[in-house]
């Protein structure tokens, strides 16, 4: 067992067996003031994002609304956009029919 312990210590010092994919990572990264994230070239257009509010319980059990940015190319954002357009079209049709019926009753 002493040989295996010594081998383990030697390999740990040499960095053997470390893999970046298996390392522990924090669940939330701290943002420092003045750091906007990675810089993009000025010529590239910014990617389009859909903004969602995610409800989450904070440290003290209180509900918080967190901003969640999802790329518009994602299927989730596309389906939400499609459903919103369908709802808006249905609302417009309902308003038109209501206005038409109201005008017929006035006559």
The top-scoring range by mean pLDDT among 28-32, 33-37, 44-48, 50-54 is: 50-54
Categorize the per-residue pLDDT at 61 as very low, low, confident or very high, splitting at 50, 70 and 90: confident
Categorize the per-residue pLDDT at 95 as very low, low, confident or very high, splitting at 50, 70 and 90: very high
- Higher-pLDDT residue of 7 and 1 is 7
What phi and psi, each to the nearest 5 degrees, are found at residue 66? -110, 140
pTM of the entire structure?
Answer: 0.45
Separation between Cα atoms, residue 64 and residue 28, nearest integer Å = 15
pLDDT at 65: 87
For 78-98, what is the mean pLDDT?
Answer: 94
What six digits make up the tokens of 96?
């038109």
């Amino acid at each position: 067992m002493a040989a295996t312990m010594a081998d383990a210590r030697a390999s740990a010092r040499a960095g053997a067996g470390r893999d970046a994919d298996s390392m522990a990572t924090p669940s939330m990264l701290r943002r420092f003031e003045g750091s906007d994230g990675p810089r993009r070239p000025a010529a590239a257009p910014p990617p389009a994002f859909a903004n969602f509010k995610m409800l989450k319980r904070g440290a003290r059990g209180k509900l918080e609304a967190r901003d969640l940015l999802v790329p518009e190319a994602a299927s989730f954002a596309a389906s939400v956009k499609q459903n919103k357009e369908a709802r808006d079209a249905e609302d417009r049709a309902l308003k038109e029919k209501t206005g038409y019926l109201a005008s017929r009753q006035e006559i």
